[in-house]
Amino acid sequence: MADNPSGLVIETYKLTKIYQNRQIALNDVTLSIEPGSVLGLLGPNGAGKTTFLRLVLGLHRPTAGWVKLFGKTMSPNAADLRRRMGYIPTNPQFPAGMTPITYLDYVARLFGLTSDSRKPRLASLIRAVDLLPVSGEPIAGFSNGMTSRLAVAASLINEPDLLIWDEPTHGLDPEARRSMLELIKRLSREKSLIVSSHNLSDVDEVCNHAAVLSRGQLIYNGSLQDLKGRMRRNHYELDLEGDQKAITKATAAIKNMTEFKTVSLKQRRLELRLNDDSTNTSALANVFMTLADSKVTLVSIRSVGQQTEQAFLDLVEKEESRGFARAYQVEEAA
Amino acid sequence: MDIPAPVKALKINRWLPYLAVLQSDMRQTQRSWVYRLWVMASVLSAVGYLLYHVGVYQKAGMVQLASTVLSDLLLWTVLGSVTLIIVLTASCISAERGTVADSVLSRGISRYQYFMAKWHARLITVIGTFLVLGGGALACSYFFLQEDLSLMGSIVAMLTVALLLMMVISLGVTFSAVASSTLVGITFLWLLVYGVGFLLTLLPARFPSPYRMLTNLPHVLRGDYSLHDLGQLATYSGVLSIGAALVGLIIFSRRDV
C-alpha cells in the first residue's frame, strides 16, 4: 500500500475525451473505485462506457483530466499497471490460426510471464474453462460460448487485481450466462471488477456499485442499493381473491381516492399508479383498509418494473429532462 | 467454470512482451501473401535470368561476367521489389488497427516495446530474406559464370543494398504507425520512395543517389569499392532509419488505438 497512498484501485479526475474536436465522448467524469468493489457500468449506447474503459486501460489518452490505477497515472506506456489488469472486450477477436494453447501462451508472454509460470497456469486455466478437449483445435471454429470462455482464461492468466469485462454475457446462451455470473460472483471475493453491461439484471445480480453514464456524463456513482433507492415506487400490482362483486366495489372505492393517478382492474389483478406527490405507505394503507372492509383477500402485492432497470431509466430520463438547467449547475459548481 | 487459485507468485521477464510480438510478427510476415509473392517473384526472375546467361555462356561461348549479371539482377530485383516491400512494411501496424488494441495493447506491453518489436521483426525478415536470396544468386554466379567476383566486393555490394532496404523498411513501419489507413500509408510511402529516388538522380554526381549506387555495383562486385562510401551510406541509412523510427515511436505512443 506504500506506493498507493489513497488505497483506491481506480481514481479518475475530471476525465474528458473529445475526439478530433468533433465528438465529446466523455465529459468531466470523476469517480473512484475501492478494492473489492464490483462496479456495474451502465448507460445507453453511445453513453461513453467503452471510451471510459479504454481510457482506464491506457488505450486512449484523455483530452483533459487523469486516470490513476493503484495510485499511479495510467498512460499508453504503463505496461506495469496493465500487468495488474485483465480485460475482456465486447467481441473478443483472436489471431487467425491459433489454438487455445498457443493463444494463451502468447497472451501470457505479452504479460511477461516466464515459461515456469505461464505453462502450468495456462494448462490449469484451459482445464478450468472446459476447453481441454479442444485445446489443440483452431479458435476460428469455436462457438460464442467457447470464445467467451477462452477470453475469460486470457483475462485471468496474469492473476490480475482488477478485471475489466465489457459485456461479458453478450451473445451467451442462458446456461453459459449463468456460469459467467457465478464466476463473477466468485472472483469478486478477491478481486475488483468493472462490468459494463446492457443487461441490467446481470448488474443487479453481481455488482455492489454502479456508475451510470449518459451522453458522456456521469449521472450516478454510488452503491447499487442507493441507485435502487432513487427509484420512484409508484406502480403496484395486487392479486386479489374473493367475491367478484366485492372486488369491483372495492375498486370503485379506491378509484375515488385522490392519491392514485390510475386504477384499473383486470379480472382479479388490481393495478395502481400513484400520483407523484403521494406517499406510497399511506396510500397503500388506505387500499388495504378498503379491501379489508370489502372482505377481499390480498394474495400478493409487487412493485412493478425491474428495480435496477427502473432506477436507471429514471436517472437517464431525469437527466435528459433537465435540459439547459445542466449548464446552471455547472456554473454553480464552478 | 472453476478458476484455479494461484499457487505461487508469477515470475515476470520485462523483455518477453517484446520477444512475443517480434516472433509473432516474423511468423505472420512469412505467412502473408505479399511476402510469398515477393520471394517467389524474386526467385523465379533470378533463376530465369541466371539460366539465360549461363546458357549463353556455356552453349554459345560468349563471356558473361558474373559481376555484370549479378549487379543487373540486384538492380532490377531491388527496383521491382521495393513496391512489395513498401506494401509489406507500410501495413504492419495499420492493418492490425481493428484488433491490436483489444488483443495486444491491452496486455502488459508498452507502446514502445510494440513498435520496436514490429520494426525489428520487419527489418530481420526482409533484410534476412534478401541476404539469403542474394547469397544464393551470388553463389550461382560464382560457380556457373565467368567468375570475376571479389569476396569483399560481394559483401560490400550486399551491404549496400541491405542499407538501402533498411531505409525503406524503417520508413514503411513509421508510415504504418502514423497513417490513418493502410492504403494512405502505402500510397504516400510509394510516392516518397520513388519520387525522392528519381529526384536524387537529377542532382550532380557528388550527391548520393540510390540508383547511382545500384548501377555502380559491377565495379563494387569486382572489388573496386570504397569503404568510405559504404560508411557514408551506413551513416545516412542509420540516421534516416533511426530518425524515422523515433518519429513513428513518438507519434504511435501518443495516439489512440
Does B3 map to a domain?
no
Nearest to B12 among A95, A112, A182 (CB): A112
Could you report the per-residue pLDDT of B39-74, keeping only the tens digit for each?
A: 999 999 888 988 888 888 777 777 777 888 888 888
B64 and B53 in contact (C-beta within 8 Å)? yes
Domains of chain A: 10-84+160-228 (3.40.50.300), 235-303 (3.30.70.100)
**Distance from B8 to chain A by nearest Cα, in Å?**
9
Interchain contact, A112 vs B108, CB within 8 Å = yes
A67: which chain B residues are within 8 Å (Cβ-Cβ)? none
Count Cβ neighbours within 10 Å for each residue of B210-220 and write b for 16 or more, e otherwise: beebbebbbeb
Maximum alpha-carbon separation in chain A: 79
SS3 B150: coil
Are the beta carbons of A114 and B11 separated by less than 8 Å? yes
Question: Is the Cβ–Cβ distance between B116 and B18 less than 8 Å?
Answer: yes
Residue B5 placed within a domain: no
8 Å CB contact of A76 and B10 = no
Q: Is A93 in Cβ contact with B98 (below 8 Å)?
A: yes
Q: Is residue B65 situated within a structural domain?
A: yes
| Residues of chain B with C-beta less than 8 angstroms from the C-beta of A187 | 3
Cα–Cα distance, B257 to B246 (Å, whole number): 18
Number of domains in chain B: 1
**B173 found inside a domain:** yes
CA distance B202 to chain A (A): 41
Output the CA torsion sign for A23, A321, A204, A173.
Answer: negative
Query: Using a CB-CB distance cutoff of 8 angstroms, which residues of chain B are in contact with residue A159?
Result: 6, 10
Choose among A76, A113, A124: nearest Cβ to B4. Answer: A124
* Residue B45 belongs to a domain: yes
- Residue of chain B with shortest Cα separation from A153: B3
Dihedral, CA atoms, A323, A325, A328, A334, nearest 10 degrees? -70
Residue B8 lies in a domain: no
Q: Which of B99, B105, B108 is nearest residue A111 as measured by Cβ atoms?
A: B108
Nearest residue of chain A to residue B106 (CA atoms): A57
Residue of A92, A110, A127 lying closest to B102 (CB–CB): A92
Q: Does any domain span residue B55? A: yes
Give A148→chain B minimum CA distance, Å: 12
Helical H segments across chain A, by residue range: 49-57, 79-82, 100-110, 115-128, 144-156, 174-187, 200-206, 224-229, 244-255, 280-293, 307-321, 325-333
Whether residue B11 lies inside any domain: the answer is: no
Residue A81 contacts residue A70 (beta carbons within 8 Å): yes
Nearest to A129 among B1, B24, B106 (CB): B1
B16 interfaces chain A, CB cutoff of 8 Å: yes
Residues of A in contact with B114 (CB under 8 A): none
Query: Which residue, among A57, A75, A110, would best test binding to B if mutated, counting the most B CBs under 10 Å from its CB?
Result: A110
Q: pLDDT tens digits, chain A, 334 residues: what are they?
A: 557 777 889 999 999 999 988 889 999 999 999 998 999 998 888 888 999 999 999 999 999 999 999 999 999 999 999 999 999 988 888 877 889 999 999 999 999 999 988 999 999 999 988 889 999 999 988 888 888 889 999 999 999 999 999 888 887 888 888 888 888 888 888 899 999 987 777 888 888 898 988 888 888 888 887 877 766 667 888 999 988 889 999 999 999 898 888 899 988 899 888 887 778 888 889 999 999 999 999 998 887 655 566 667 777 777 766 666 666 655 444 4
A156 close to A111: Cβ distance less than 8 angstroms: no
What gap in Å lies between CA A320 and CA A214, rounded to an integer?
Answer: 9
Cβ contact A149–B257 (<8 Å): no
* In contact, B231 and B160? CB cutoff 8 Å: no
Using a CB-CB distance cutoff of 8 angstroms, which residues of chain B are in contact with residue A61?
Answer: 254-256
Kindly report, residue by residue over B83-113, the tens digit of the pLDDT: 999 999 999 998 887 788 888 999 999 999 9
**Nearest CA-CA distance, residue B187 and chain A, Å:** 23
The answer, yes or no, to whether ipTM is higher than 0.95 is: no
Cell of A201: 439484471
Residue span of the structural domain in which B161 resides: 16-252
Among chain A residues, the shortest Cα distance to B249 is held by: A77
